[in-house]
Chains A and B, each alone.
Chain A
Amino acid sequence: MSSKPKIKELLVESACEHNKTKKGSCNAPTPGATTGGCALDGAQIALFPFADAAHLIHGPMSCIGGAWETRLTPTSWSGRDLTQTGFATDITTNNVIFSGEKKLAAAIDHIVTHYAPEAVFVYSTCVTAMIGEDIDAVCKHRAEKHGIPCVPVHAPGFVGAKNLGSRIAGEAVLRHLIGTKEPEKTTPFDINLIGEHNNTGELWRYRHLLEELGIRVLSTFSGDGRIASIRTAHRAKLNVIICAKSLVSMTRKMQEQYGIPWISCSFYGKTDTSAGILAIAEALGDANLIARTRALIAREEARLDEQLVPYREIFAGKKAVLNTGGNKAWSIASALQDLGIEVVATSVRKSTEADKAKAREYLGENAILMTSPATQQAKVIDDTGAHLLLAGGRSLYTAIKKRIAFTDVNQEKKKSYGGYDGLLVLAEDLKNSLQNPVFELVDRKAPWQK
């Protein structure tokens, strides 16, 4: 039987908020007016952090060319970091005409021989899916031959966008890995972190706090993840989804199959981090644990507040305009508020209804929710007298024209602003922006301009 997931089923995922308003339309991108990565991209992002597994793209170089070794998801795995190793079958015209299945099998053999991974993920792509390569059969044979899981991931780009791809990745892991091994021991406080990619080390900003409380991270999907532990994930007492609506279907199925309840958290900024840790303790339901958690939160918040004192003065009375998408629109806003910065406007251009409601709740009555930030933000800066624009690189020019400080929100792709300590990093970066003369200087008139 094919392990291809039923795409339609994944699209109308009942627990997926994203789909309430957009039923089905996720699957029909507009020709000539579409941005964002394909399902393969999404599947890779979801699975690549497994550094002890090889990730083999069965397709041409377009599907991997510039996209491997992005270095965003660090690992503590002591073996060779396969997240930073690119594998592709680089199919040729010949393979398109005469099939590339033999090549794929040989590629898996090469990888197992030279890199000894704990598992191999094999990703189909548009061309290999189109010509009907049977990657399930190849994976099955090779898994038997080598005695390690070979997981087919059916997320060719033409089935949809990134979100769908990450759901498909979850599906593949659920089907081929989870429940295939028993943990050496279990504790009453075993949890899985689902959708935590450890981007820029985000996970490491809070995992030690969970451990201090006696909460054990049994497995992660998939930041700093291990194949051996995700195979035991079915024994967890709780699934914690980190800012990843696309993986709700996975946790819902785990609830059906294994009876594991799930909650959703964010670890961005002080308020959210505290709320997240507490939510986990409460979901685990142990009164003693909850009490210890409250104490830890109090201690961490006090420590953080003290460290933030020098920044408060700098940020007092400062107003920021935030132009970034999705859940970041409110999660970063919340972090800025933790720092004492007033967020006067945020973007809700790509937000779901739930995200919009949340943005309103975080920002309050008077804040402006921009539906078309690219055209609105300049005026909003004028009207509010904002001092700081946090946005993607494209908006830099607006900040320069308005001569206010700019911080690239995508900077967080390079360094982590998560957890309690991440807030200090964010504070330092914002201070540097606010104090940098470049934004005023760079657009000054040239000597020959009137």
Chain B
Amino acid sequence: MAEVRRKSGKPLQVNPHKLSQPMGATLAFLGVDRCMPLMHGAQGCASFAKVMFTRHFCEPIALQTTAVNDVIAVLDGGDYSIVESVKNIHDKITPELIGVHTTGLTETKGDDLRGVASKIEVPLVYVNTPDYQGGLESGWTLTTQALIDQLTESCDRIDAQKIVLVPHVSLQPIEVEKLHDFIESFGFKVVAVPDLSSSLDNHLGEKQASLSSGGVTVAELKQLADAAFVVTVGASVKSVGATLQKKNPAIQHRHFDHVNGLVGTDALVAWLLEASARDTPPPVVERWRKRLQDAMLDSHFSIGQTRFLLVAEPDHLASMAASLREVGGKVSLAISTVDSPILGDIEADQVIVGDLEDAEKMRDAYDLIIGNFHTEALAHRVEKRAVMRGFPNYEEIGIALKNDLLYEGGAYFLFEIANAAERMREAQVHHERERIKLRGAA
């Protein structure tokens, strides 16, 4: 469908939007209740991740580091720093889980994580996430797999009502909640893994950031394997289906690349009707579908004349492009952080793995930008407009409550984009008028 360039071909990233694999791992652990993510590396990586998520979510973030220093880096195989860290964490608090994830430094020195983990008594999950490989999506997925692999108990029973939902990393907390509740409204019990919907959703509470609060519990993680279905949303988490099936081959896996827009949501609803043996969905679902239909017609004129640049993680690109395409939006350029099999399916003229320097060079290809907060400065430079989506966003508040998916979120998404496109054209017309006036005066 699209022309895809999977490698950047440059010796560096200029104005990067790619985020590292350990950051994805941290975020996944934050979706587990009372978890302490422990990044195994020198102190800076954890600090950068903590600052980024704190500013993005406007929430205190629980994250510790094994604080490897130059001496330890040379002498220790990981035992000392991890064992000490676990001890020091437990001196102050008692987490339900410690989530050890590595960084480039500790991978380069070749620490034996499995060996160390086997010596530690307290509940702990470990995952290898060197930052010179993969990115945010893979860190999230590897961690989700590790959680299931190392915690979920094998099972041979099936609870016909139970569904395990695995969202991709770019779904914001409210989106996970909406999806969770949507599926439950068809009569299922849903456990989301990881679940940011109650941990990073901007609720008022006494949060000292000593531990994550909210999310899937360790007890729930242990008991995932009696689910009738595992539903994965996003190509990056598709493999988690098989991870869970290893614990119980009777679990059925249903995968969706996204659940955005009319067609995407219809696909989910069709399956839910079938799986729940119902003829009709709950009335509210029907109402939202009609609202989305109306929103599509109301927004098609504006979006249909707009050329888009999308800048995001692969799964996020796929979902946004699908929504825009449904109302005639032309995604002329989609820039991905990393390579992914989904890139070939994205409905865009051109899909590249690249950075914002690439975006700047191809400025003639698009009118409106959708991407993280870095695209705002880009928009200024290339004299366009940007709508903020994706990690990180330091410029706006309320990001955790932005909902773009299913019929409901789809309608809000189209409104927001259409309004932004109109304002952009309005500004252009104004600009043009001023220019003509000036010319007249001169």
Contact = CB atoms under 8 A, between A and B. Distances in A.
A447 interface: no
Contact of B44 (A39, A68, A90): A39
Interface string B196-211: 0000000011111100
Interface in A26-65: 27-41, 56, 59-65
Nearest to A161: B43
Contacts of B69: 27-29, 158-160
Interface in A88-129: 88-93, 95-96, 102-104, 106-107, 109-111, 114, 126-127
A130 B105 contact: yes
B51 A67 contact: yes
B13 interface: yes
B16 A33 contact: no
B87 A32 contact: yes
B16 A90 contact: yes
B392 interface: yes
A103 B12 contact: yes
B204 A107 contact: no
B41 interface: yes
Interface in B104-147: 104-105, 108-109, 130-133, 135
B86 to A, nearest CB: 7
A67 B11 contact: no
A30 B41 CA distance: 12
Contact of A157 (B44, B49, B52): B44
Nearest to B356: A86
Nearest to A59: B104
A159 B70 contact: yes
Taking residues whose C-beta sits less than 8 angstroms from the other chain, chain B's interface range is: 35 or more
Given A37-B44, A126-B41, A95 B132 contact: yes
B432 interface: no
A29 B108 contact: no
A31 B132 contact: no
A393 interface: yes
Interface stretch (B58-66, B259-267, B342-350, B399-407): B58-66
Interface in B180-233: 204-209
Given A39-B44, A130-B73, A88 B12 contact: yes
B371 to A, nearest CB: 13
Given A130-B108, A156-B42, A397-B206, A66 B48 contact: yes
B89 interface: yes
B65 A34 contact: yes
Interface in B139-195: none
A275 interface: no
A258 interface: no
Contacts of A91: 104, 132
Given A34-B67, A93-B132, A65 B89 contact: no
A59 B104 CA distance: 9
B426 to A, nearest CB: 27
B105 to A, nearest CB: 4
Centre residue among A28, A88, A95 by max chain B CB count within 10 A: A88
B105 A65 contact: no
B66 to A, nearest CB: 5
Centre residue among A32, A38, A40 by max chain B CB count within 10 A: A32
A90 B12 contact: yes
Interface in A120-168: 126-127, 130-131, 156-161
Interface string B410-427: 000000000000000000
Interface in A264-311: none
B66 A32 contact: yes
Contacts of A96: 104, 108, 132
Interface stretch (B19-27, B279-287, B296-304, B314-322): B19-27
A351 interface: no
Interface in B1-43: 10-16, 18-20, 22-23, 38, 41-43
Contacts of B60: 393-394
B12 A69 contact: no
A32 B104 contact: no
A89 B41 CA distance: 20
Interface residues of A, number: 67
Contacts of A88: 12-13, 16
Contact of A32 (B12, B89, B207, B391): B89
A196 to B, nearest CB: 22
B391 to A, nearest CB: 8
Given A158-B68, A159-B69, A66 B88 contact: no
A56 B12 contact: yes
B85 interface: yes
B64 A32 contact: yes
B84 interface: yes
Contact of A110 (B11, B41, B130): B11
B323 interface: no
Centre residue among A27, A102, A127, A394 by max chain B CB count within 10 A: A127
A374 interface: yes
A30 B15 contact: no
Nearest to A127: B104
A38 B42 contact: yes
A92 B135 CA distance: 11
A84 interface: yes
Nearest to A95: B132
Contact of B47 (A33, A38, A160): A38
Contact of B88 (A30, A35, A109, A161): A30
A1 interface: no
A87 B132 contact: no
Centre residue among A34, A36, A89, A96 by max chain B CB count within 10 A: A34
A398 to B, nearest CB: 9
Nearest to B52: A66
Given A61-B20, A64-B16, A157-B42, A35 B51 contact: no
A161 B23 CA distance: 20
Given A38-B43, A130-B108, A61 B88 contact: no
B105 A126 contact: yes
A85 interface: yes
Contacts of B14: 85-87, 110-111, 114
Contacts of B357: 114
Contact of B43 (A36, A68, A104): A36
Centre residue among A27, A67, A92 by max chain B CB count within 10 A: A67
Given A41-B48, A87-B13, A103-B12, 20 more contacts: A7-B70, A29-B43, A30-B67, A31-B80, A32-B66, A38-B45, A41-B44, A62-B41, A62-B104, A65-B48, A66-B51, A85-B14, A86-B16, A90-B13, A111-B12, A131-B108, A157-B41, A157-B42, A158-B68, A394-B208
Interface of B: 10-16, 18-20, 22-23, 38, 41-45, 47-52, 55-56, 58, 60, 64-70, 72-73, 80-82, 84-89, 91-92, 103-105, 108-109, 130-133, 135, 204-209, 357, 374, 377, 391-392, 394
30 contacts: A28-B69, A30-B88, A31-B68, A31-B82, A32-B38, A32-B64, A32-B89, A34-B43, A36-B47, A61-B135, A62-B23, A64-B13, A65-B16, A66-B23, A67-B51, A85-B14, A86-B13, A90-B16, A93-B133, A96-B104, A126-B104, A127-B105, A130-B109, A157-B44, A158-B69, A160-B69, A393-B60, A397-B204, A397-B207, A443-B204
Which 3 residue pairs are nearest across A and B when measured between Cβ atoms?
Answer: A38-B44, A32-B85, A66-B52
